[in-house]
Structure 1
Amino acid sequence: MKKLTLFLAVLLICNHVLLAQKTALLINTYNRSSTSLNGQWNYIVDPYENGYYNYRYEPFDQQENPGKGAYFLNAKADGPTDLVEYNFDKSESMAVPSDWNSQSEKLFYYEGTVWYKKSFDYKKQLDDNRVFVYFGAVNYQADVYMNGKKLGTHIGGFTPFNYEVTNLLKEKDNFLVVKVDNKRKKEGVPTLNTDWWNYGGITREVKLVETGATYIADYVVQLDPSNAKLIKGFVTVNGKEASDKNVELRIPELGIHKKLKTDKEGKVSFEIKQNRIEYWSTNNPKLYDVEIEMEGDKLKDQIGFRTIRTKGSYILLNEEQVFLKGISIHEESPFREGRAYTKEDAVQLLEWAKELGCNFVRLAHYPHNEHMVRLADQMGLLVWEENPVYWTIDWENAATYENAENQLKTVISRDKNRASVIIWSMANETPNSEARNIFLKRLAKTAKQMDPTRLISAALEQSAYQDKPNVKTISDPFADVVDVLSFNQYIGWYGGTPETCKEIQWVIEQDKPVFISEFGAGAKQGLHGDKGTRWTEEYQAYLYEETLKMLSQIEQFQGCSPWILVDFRSPRRPLPEIQDGWNRKGLISEDGKKKQAFSVLQAFYNNQGLQKK
């Protein structure tokens, strides 16, 4: 018994060490020197995880001599008598980034382990430079190995991560192996049940990022939320000699050239008074070129300056009231089946939103790829980003909370300098309980500590007011925590018909902006009939008309993001000849054809007097 206890303790320590090897997130990989590892990767489907466990179900990567059966070793037979039961180089290949579901018919519904392998050569620009392997996202768990050595494990399907590989790289014949497992888990974030497709694979870009021996690791350059004439922030430097480093911050168009010096922790904070700032807005998405230089290491970014806050029931952008004309978006490609990951995907989705008349997009229900927020910066679209705390997760599991908090911290770290991002959302449609309330409050506190410049929200649910079925309210305790009171409602679809909207009254007791994060109805594009017949374009359009009238009666109503821009795949939607595995609530079909409701919402956004005085 003592030996078993000791063995388990050693396993836990080893696992902790392996997980701890992940380095801090590299910020702004957009503008760093990098080499793409995108393209064709060899893969092996491994539903029994034979490449990870031996026949005693012991992990190979926790054994001193795992033998050639471990797939991460990329082993080859040494001779005709040598037994090796896999071969990456002779296996099929698939594109990275992408998902396996849309690339192989036999993997369409597959949930489990797939091993990926990429071989490459690499020569550093300078001998003392450092190199990191960066992943935009892998769904859901990634065990990463370089040249047979484990780099670490990352959990979470929509957040970036990286590992330093400087000491493992060779000039010739490197191989990177990734064990990808997209099995849904009760303790996962999100959990077992979601209303979108569980695309597996290396779903965003992979690249090698080269830095100096000491490099600019992180920075914030933002307006002080209480003083729009003050640019504040920090720069951190990473390396053995990070202290007492000379750092220069330049914003040439504003005539800013600030000389700084890092402290013993490699960090320096700054404040810069500036009276000539042209503020970023939806009508004028002004971005400034920002340069940060540290003794030869130079990093550029494009940053907009704006303030966002609430005052009573109003949302103020640069101290002017803004009505959020929004739409919800899933990360589904508009050009092909599968997960969206290219810049072209993001351009099309956001251009449709602009055509709709939007000044705001809700990126649901997880962090989307970085193209989306950077393009939103350029296009003047405000953004809601969401942590995948969706429906019912394991609220009392400490590891589940740590997982959720890590994903939240990562997306904040990645996007904290994006002017477009104004709302961090903690969750979507989560049931009220004491454990859940503690969980969400902790997340909100973390978000505020990391980033006090943006608003906090969550997609809550409405309920009956004083047991009156036709009077709706928000009685969720988390409503007291959020800055923007957001909730989903589907009157006329999941309850009643569009006519029901005429009977509904709202009693919102919180003195906060009210934002309707979802409403909608399903419609098969091209299916026509009476407006009282479900699944027709006419029914969906009629529901939009009646819902918008109903919502406009809410005194604190400050915007909405109907569900959803484009039809998307979901295994929860099997109705033959109508859904066929697609959620049909999109205003645009999966093949890019607009439904009648698109024009209804477009007219509401473009023609109605939306700015409340």
Structure 2
Amino acid sequence: MIKAALNLFILVLLSYAAAGQSGPVQNNKARVALSLNGKWNYIVDPYENGFYDYRRKAFDASASGKGGFFDDVTNTDQSELIEYNFDYSPALNVPGDWNSQVEKLELYEGTVWYRKKFNMSPDKGKKYFLYFAAANYEAHVYLNGKKLGVHKGGFTPFQFQIDKHLINGENSVVVKVDNTRKQDEIPTINTDWWNYGGITRDVFITETPQSYIADYKIQLSAADRGTIEGYIQLAGNTQTENVKVQIPELGISLQVKTDASGKAHIRIPSRKISYWSPENPKIYGVTISSASDQVHDRIGFKTIETKGQDILLNGKSVFLRGISIHDENPLLAGRLRSEGDMRMMLQWAKELGCNYVRLAHYPHSEDMVRLADEMGLMVWAEVPVYWTISWDNPDTYNNAKQQLTDLISRDKNRSSVIIWSVGNETPLSEQRHAFMGNLISHARSLDNTRLIAAALEVHRNGTEVIVDDPLGEKIDLVSFNEYAGWYWGGTPDEIGKYHFNIKYSKPVVVSEFGADALGGFYADNKTKFSEEYQEALYESQIALLSTIKGLRGMTPWILADFRSPRRQHPIYQNFWNRKGLISETGSKKKAFYTLKSFYSKKQEQYK
């Protein structure tokens, strides 16, 4: 009975957190009232002593709701037994991961408690939200000893309304973060990237009026490039009221009235739009106003669609000259922490000749996508449905669906995003087809202005490379990963014997190919892990892929070397995936220039 009640309690908390207080406020960073970035005290807790008692009962599910580290108490009586103390504990930088900041935590997976004290003088006429841009993976959040909720997912934002829990003066926020890999989670146990744990992105408190602009979508109509459409959603003390959308540079000032639920749909004809593209990354200042609230954003307008085997950006055929990117700085261990880190990665892509990037294999930072808007790089955005998932588990599906929802909700106003991807290299089975098919349908229900894709696997029959996956009927692109010359297919000079049998007559975008090369290791083009081998493979792959009639883009694997516990060769890898075109020192490998030359020719071809 107690176990059943506890499970129910946990499920309630999880659904409360998944709802995210109706989802994080759109463009939340524009409303920062107080940043909580900086030094947070931390306690490493591999046995979770701060969460469970010795009978493995959760303290926050007890009758008192007390007894855990989240109480953040210190001794007031020397006879009192308290076996932790945040005040004397070391500190971690937030945003940041614990693996790269503390040597003894480099390979640690488990629970770490974070504590931050801050002062506030809350206005009783305002609402306040505690916002996390990301924490990996499961986060239990407490404010002044009261549990706000739980969030699962290492790369999506979440928030909690905190008006009732704020104190006028000093406050304490405590977060239990657990990055333990589990079979039924998204992603699952087996991945090919470092499992960075911690509060890896910004944390701040936002302030809104009682009635506030919670959400909006303002994008070009998929059916008419001369019309801006979308909606505005008010929350809080919602009632019917007037809201205004202004785009001064286009001479637009539209006033509409919300319905009883606080929602208003907008449709604005405009023939003066300068369309966003890599050659012209035009972004307009947009202001949305209600009676009590106002939000500013910067939004570009474009359309993306397919026609036969063409991809059309603003009605014009385009070749996606791309590269895959991980959310990791090869020069400084850990996740990308700042705009400078992110701009460096995207600038490298621009130097390669890219007009497009695949942000793999999970949602990257909102700041990264906004930089792509500004810098003129189209984006493939992805959720971590990766390799072998628990396809039959309804909770696993709901988790994936929520992460996809959060990604689309967060980035739906970003002009750079042209593709929502629902997964990577998932093996064929009826259960997987249902799982992935439902995600595709869900993505389409949320956004009809982008393409839907997944990085599929290929299969081989002799020298025939077969692309035949039931998802091919449902997605907009024939997108697949293909590793001839590395994991199969002999040496680079043998790649030419292969040919493709692609079932679907759609645009082909090769989402991965590549080979490892240790930067600075030179040999002949038959020696694996040498720069010459990688260079020869790129030359042969480009020749092979160019035989595909419908080839309209690619994102080779990958821009820069990244860390992975799966890559253990002591000489060539040493816990690094070396498929980067740029080494961990920032040096460009020979294959970088091979791909750059190909992209230069494609750029001329598609002018």
Deviations 1:431-484 (A, max 9, x none): 0000000000100000000001100000001112xx3x1111211111111101
The aligned residue for residue 218 of structure 2 is: 221
> Is 1:562 aligned with 2:559?
no
In 1: Cα distance, 2:602 partner to 2:266 partner:
44
The aligned residue for residue 468 of structure 2 is: 475
Question: Which among 216, 227, 231 is matched to residue 230 of structure 1?
Answer: 227
In 1: Cα distance, 2:603 partner to 2:88 partner:
63
In 2: Cα distance, 1:284 partner to 1:310 partner:
21
Question: Which among 485, 488, 495 is matched to residue 492 of structure 1?
Answer: 485
Question: Which among 7, 12, 22 is matched to residue 12 of structure 1?
Answer: 7
SS in 1 for 2:225: strand
Deviates more, 1:560-569 or 1:222-231: 222-231
Query: Does the Cα contact within 8 Å between 2:242 and 2:257 map onto a contact in 1?
Result: yes
Query: Does the Cα contact within 8 Å between 1:44 and 1:114 map onto a contact in 2?
Result: yes
The aligned residue for residue 292 of structure 1 is: 288
Query: Does the Cα contact within 8 Å between 1:341 and 1:369 map onto a contact in 2?
Result: no
Q: What runs of 5+ residues in structure 1 fail to find an aligned partner?
A: none
Matches within 5 A, 1:45-64: 45-64=44-63
Deviation of the 1:511 alpha carbon: 1.1
In 1: Cα distance, 2:129 partner to 2:315 partner:
41
SS in 1 for 2:598: helix
In the superposition, the TM-score normalised over structure 1's length comes to: 0.97
Percent identity over the alignment is: 51
Deviations 1:240-299 (A, max 9, x none): 2x1212211101111111111111101010111111111111100111100000113110
In 2: Cα distance, 1:591 partner to 1:202 partner:
26
Deviation of the 1:127 alpha carbon: 2.9
In 2: Cα distance, 1:449 partner to 1:580 partner:
44
Question: Which among 580, 586, 589 is matched to residue 586 of structure 1?
Answer: 580
Query: Does the Cα contact within 8 Å between 1:322 and 1:611 map onto a contact in 2?
Result: no
Matches within 5 A, 1:275-286: 275-286=271-282
> Is 1:36 aligned with 2:30?
no
The aligned residue for residue 328 of structure 2 is: 332
Deviations 1:466-515 (A, max 9, x none): x3x11112111111111011000010011111112111111223110001
Question: Which among 439, 451, 456 is matched to residue 455 of structure 1?
Answer: 451
Deviates more, 1:550-559 or 1:506-515: 506-515
Q: Which amino acid aligns with 1:539?
A: Y
Deviation of the 1:34 alpha carbon: 2.7
In 2: Cα distance, 1:34 partner to 1:342 partner:
20
> Is 1:177 aligned with 2:174?
yes
Deviation of the 1:170 alpha carbon: 1.2
Deviations 1:44-96 (A, max 9, x none): 000000100011100001112244x4100001112111111100111111111
In 1: Cα distance, 2:91 partner to 2:602 partner:
52
In 2: Cα distance, 1:66 partner to 1:288 partner:
49
Query: Does the Cα contact within 8 Å between 1:18 and 1:150 map onto a contact in 2?
Result: no
In 2: Cα distance, 1:543 partner to 1:262 partner:
57
Deviates more, 1:106-115 or 1:332-341: 332-341
In 1: Cα distance, 2:307 partner to 2:255 partner:
37
Query: Does the Cα contact within 8 Å between 2:211 and 2:292 map onto a contact in 1?
Result: no
State the number of aligned residues.
602
Query: Does the Cα contact within 8 Å between 1:323 and 1:610 map onto a contact in 2?
Result: no
SS in 2 for 1:577: coil
Query: Does the Cα contact within 8 Å between 2:468 and 2:503 map onto a contact in 1?
Result: no
The aligned residue for residue 132 of structure 1 is: 129
The aligned residue for residue 94 of structure 2 is: 96
SS in 2 for 1:487: strand
The aligned residue for residue 500 of structure 2 is: 506
In 2: Cα distance, 1:10 partner to 1:569 partner:
42
The aligned residue for residue 574 of structure 1 is: 568
The aligned residue for residue 186 of structure 2 is: 189
Deviates more, 1:336-345 or 1:247-256: 336-345
In 2: Cα distance, 1:278 partner to 1:66 partner:
57
In 2: Cα distance, 1:154 partner to 1:72 partner:
16
Q: Which runs of 4+ in 1 moved over 2 A?
A: 7-19, 607-613
Query: Does the Cα contact within 8 Å between 1:114 and 1:181 map onto a contact in 2?
Result: yes
Distance 1:252 1:609, change over 3 A: closer
Deviation of the 1:608 alpha carbon: 4.3
Give RMSD over aligned pairs. 1.2
The aligned residue for residue 388 of structure 1 is: 384
Deviations 1:503-558 (A, max 9, x none): 11112231100010000000000000111111110110010011001100100101
Q: Which amino acid aligns with 2:85?
A: N
Deviations 1:86-128 (A, max 9, x none): 001111111111000001111011000000000010123x431
Deviation of the 1:171 alpha carbon: 2.2
The aligned residue for residue 198 of structure 2 is: 201
> Is 1:550 aligned with 2:544?
yes
Q: Which amino acid aligns with 1:387?
A: V
Query: Does the Cα contact within 8 Å between 2:51 and 2:68 map onto a contact in 1?
Result: yes
SS in 2 for 1:173: strand
Query: Does the Cα contact within 8 Å between 2:330 and 2:562 map onto a contact in 1?
Result: no
The aligned residue for residue 347 of structure 1 is: 343
In the superposition, the TM-score normalised over structure 2's length comes to: 0.98
Matches within 5 A, 1:337-486: 337-464=333-460, 467=461, 469-486=462-479
